[in-house]
Chain A
């Protein structure tokens, strides 16, 4: 079996650039064949315009004005020929631009499909290593950077055809005239290349500074309240003005480079035209060419002034495209560290039995490895409620995430009903284990879809009755009933805004509607009233005969006392486990946590 092709482009700069263009175009052969054909039509017809004008000059215009009646008779025919060429040329231009646009959009869509597929496939550990902003940029600005080069590509290919046709046409007329006219082309192409080479770093710098200006603005406005509260608006203005000034200078630098090259590139064809006049007149006097030939050569140069710039555009975009493509490739080539399991986890009526054995979790970042959990053993008997208690940063969330395989342990294992978690089929896992995390993610969708996480009419999706039941269990049904539209009400930034506690209860409804056999509540009720929390847990036990196994990460003693058993975690280790009363009696660290407020009151009272 051959190894799967990676998206990273190998080789030197030229090869990588060529590969990028080839792979993009090859993925859409039909579009690019049409783009190249129409662009070739455009190239050919551009030369045809000059040739026709030359011929018309010799056969019609000059003789007619000199008094040749016969030549005057073919005048209308000449007009029609020019018109026909104009129509063909316009069709070529339209086709070239339309197919270039289709290719650009298609290749961009390819990248986006690929990148987002990876986002959904790669494990949480990968997500945690990559900042949100970077991942969103991978799918937006990086894709635009990687595909921008495909806009001028068909144009440039058409110009190649144009130059070939022009060379043949001119050589057939006269070698000297041809050499004079064509001498400008390499110069113009060269000037464009030098231009792009000079411009590329300057433009990149301006682009970077634009991003920096945006970063500073974003951060500063996010911090608006803090800036006010500490009275640092002057310092923020200075910080922003400094990047804004850098951007100004970079933009002026862009202008300076353009000021040097624009006139050169624009005037080269004009200079060529003058040279053609000079040489053409000389050749005319020897009778080697006719007036029309000179006109045709001069006109061709005028017409080619813009097209020869196309090479510069492609080559100018290429470095940016390679950078964008490399960023995308890093996402596309990332390998999943998690292999999905294949073993069925039979669905039984009682809750899942969970055993955690000797689990270590080590994560690596720029500053080296960090051990988040060490040698953790944990037992959740079926149908029991276990509370996980510990100070900030003790590893509670990491441990909670292991039980639904958001992450795999670096050592040790997690078993559900005796089956190693890494072997369990993903569908069984998500069907029987539900996690409600600290922060609730609300989709920009209806209440119903936010609970079912399914499309309307999707097979297997809970019906409205089940949704209402889940909302009732999560004690949030009254809130939803009060929303305009009920289950149809839109949530999210553009919809109704729920309070923190309401969002948490919605997330619980999202979990319980699936009738999980293991429910993990990771500080998921911090904003919910304790009485409500108690009713939620009681409701769960009432509905499913034995009730699901529940692991709750909690700070509040009111939550902890609802648990059958308490596990005390500190510094990534299990310090002790037992009932609340037992731990209170024998575990000083737990006592400090559990009685912090009480002790504080006592200290105060005794003062």
Chain B
């Protein structure tokens, strides 16, 4: 069973490429034509050096008679060559952008979907931010590479090739010399790239630490003020800003060094060409025009040589990003739809059974041991127990957010693993403790996930839950904006909206995981009473933090250390001299 994202994915560049093309075949669509156009575009870059050579050798320094229109023809032909080159370059650009962006959009959406399909467990083991970067910055890195480095790389290689071919035609000796002169630079590109990439890594690290320090001043604003520790917080922030600044300067200095080394070599090669070319010319194997043409061709080397380190760096980042995205896509989904679609399930009050269920979190101790439980249809069941007793895990198992390591969870007698997830989600709805809200209005949030439903229904839902007063107290009623993650509402208010949402979803089995833990007692009781009415004829499983919920339930399940230790109606358990009676006494002591 693989629960974690494959962070150790070490597949090589070729495997990444192969798998990447499987996921996004769009990337190479029309690739052959694009390549041919790119070859033509690169060949066009030697037009100017060729024109210079021809002009010098056949017009300016020509020994015999020169036809009067020779120069005009020459320049005219070159101009046509330039236009053709331009058109080819334009086409290459458009085609590359189209195919790569289509492939990357596919990659992004595929990875996004995969993240949602992964089990709650896998999602939980990852930092949220790292999952987000799989479908954002990682893909953006690839996109940016294709847009800049990728095109550069293609152009550079072909351009070097074209220049070399023409050089070799003119003088193989000088061509070898030029290449030998550039060779040391090509050899240091890799180590230089490693150092540059290490420097960039330090920048990212420093930047991350800096943002962490700054977020203390923002997220912890109240604490900083209440304790008057602005001075110390500022010192910490200032130090992190300085580190970032130094890391940036360090990286930039390295890049500048490598870049200017390229400038130095490319221009020093001019000296080599002048000296060696002239000597070859004196020996009679090179014309003056060809020598001058060489000087122009050497400039075609400059760009690629200067940019090689950065291109390699981008390439490596893009590959790493691609590898990470593919890592998500190739992570096994351990809570998956059964093969062949799964069995249908008839709507109606749900019956749930747990049979010998055992569960452990990855690398953690077993949190549920051999749990068996029968939840009859239309019953109201409350699960109580101390923090860490395994209550929430039971809720997750019933909603199939996780699968048991051993044993079975049955809905109307059918193993959850044999039901299609779509059917299951329609019939079983879990309301988690943290009421998550999307940036939008109250109404939009309640309607989220509802299959059909109008704003009028939303008002009715609040009224049914006895929350009309609360709704009226909102500045814009149903149209009140809740802000990002609902941050404009209090934790309790967020829970109210989540509850309304779950109610509108109209499930056969409602699983409430401490869904009203942050509201005041009067409101909580009001909601509890309303829910009792509303869920009549449906089944509810409530993870309770307040024993008032247990009092109202048909059946109370007491969990301790991962085992069900007592099951029965409230008054029966109260009569027994067991853990429930003790819990209830303690509860009374703190509420009365």
Contact = CB atoms under 8 A, between A and B. Distances in A.
A133 B487 CA distance: 11
Given A93-B260, A255-B96, A392-B520, A240 B288 contact: no
Most A CB within 10 A of own CB, among B91, B207, B426, B590: B590
Interface in A95-136: 97-98, 100-102, 104-106, 108-109, 112-113, 116-117, 119-121, 123-124, 127, 131-133, 135-136
A556 to B, nearest CB: 6
B86 A264 contact: yes
B592 A244 contact: no
B551 A601 contact: yes
A70 interface: no
B148 to A, nearest CB: 10
A598 B592 contact: yes
Given A86-B270, A248-B102, A438-B491, 4 more contacts: A113-B241, A223-B436, A229-B425, A598-B591
Contact of A136 (B214, B244, B260): B214
A444 interface: yes
B109 A241 contact: yes
Interface in B188-228: 207, 210-212, 214-228
A43 interface: no
Interface in B229-248: 229-230, 232-235, 237-238, 241-242, 244-246, 248
A120 B234 contact: yes
A370 to B, nearest CB: 6
B393 to A, nearest CB: 14
A166 interface: no
Interface string B133-146: 00110001001000
A380 interface: no
Most A CB within 10 A of own CB, among B79, B233, B271, B529: B271
Interface stretch (A180-188, A349-357, A428-436, A464-472): A428-436
Contacts of A278: 71-72, 75
Given A79-B271, A219-B439, A226-B432, A72 B97 contact: no
A439 to B, nearest CB: 8
B108 A244 contact: yes
A312 to B, nearest CB: 15
Interface in B293-325: 295-296, 299, 303
B263 A93 contact: yes
A501 B386 CA distance: 13
Given A229-B401, A499-B387, A89 B60 contact: no
B431 to A, nearest CB: 7
List the 10 closest A-B pairs by CB distance, nearest first: A231-B425, A255-B97, A101-B252, A430-B228, A558-B590, A86-B267, A263-B86, A97-B256, A230-B449, A90-B264
Interface in B64-97: 71-72, 75, 78-79, 82-83, 85-87, 89-91, 93-94, 96-97
A123 B438 CA distance: 28
22 contacts: A49-B270, A61-B288, A65-B281, A65-B291, A78-B274, A124-B222, A132-B487, A140-B214, A210-B136, A218-B132, A219-B439, A223-B436, A241-B112, A255-B96, A258-B93, A259-B94, A267-B83, A277-B71, A281-B59, A391-B520, A391-B522, A514-B227
Contact of A453 (B229, B244, B546): B229
Contacts of A132: 215, 218-219, 484, 487
B60 to A, nearest CB: 6
A193 B267 CA distance: 29
A392 B218 contact: no
B225 A406 contact: yes
A596 B525 contact: yes
A430 B429 CA distance: 47
B401 A120 contact: no
A4 interface: no
Contact of A262 (B90, B425, B448): B90
Contacts of B448: 230, 232
A535 to B, nearest CB: 14
A431 B228 contact: yes
Q: What interface size band does chain B fall in?
A: 35 or more
A592 B522 contact: yes
A56 interface: yes
Contacts of A191: none
A119 B278 contact: no
B278 A217 contact: no
A258 B590 CA distance: 70
B131 interface: yes
Interface in A137-183: 139-140
Nearest to A458: B232
Contacts of A299: 295-296
A600 B529 contact: yes
A557 B586 CA distance: 12
B249 interface: yes
A430 B61 contact: no
A437 interface: yes
Interface string A595-607: 0111111001000
Contacts of B105: 241, 244-245, 247-248
B222 A593 contact: no
Contacts of A93: 256, 259-260, 263
Contact of A597 (B216, B217, B303, B525): B525
B123 A224 contact: yes
Contact of B548 (A237, A370, A493, A600): A600
A262 B93 contact: yes
Interface stretch (B113-121, B351-359, B405-413, B559-567): B113-121
Interface in A559-597: 592-593, 596-597
A247 to B, nearest CB: 7
Given A102-B252, A131-B484, A274-B48, A248 B101 contact: yes
B275 interface: yes
A256 interface: yes
Contacts of B228: 426-427, 429-431
Interface stretch (B8-16, B49-57, B338-346): B49-57
Contact of A271 (B79, B278, B586): B79
Contacts of B249: 101-102, 105
B313 to A, nearest CB: 15
A133 B483 CA distance: 11
Most A CB within 10 A of own CB, among B79, B136, B267, B505: B267
Contacts of B299: 302-303
B98 interface: yes
Most B CB within 10 A of own CB, among A89, A270, A271: A270
A274 B75 contact: yes
Given A226-B436, A236-B116, A241-B109, A119 B217 contact: yes
A284 B430 contact: no
A133 B102 contact: no
A270 B86 CA distance: 11
A108 B245 contact: yes
B97 A254 contact: yes
B573 to A, nearest CB: 15
Interface stretch (A17-25, A290-298, A415-423): A290-298
A105 B210 CA distance: 14
B385 to A, nearest CB: 15
A98 B131 CA distance: 35
B591 A90 contact: no
Nearest to A112: B241
A295 to B, nearest CB: 6
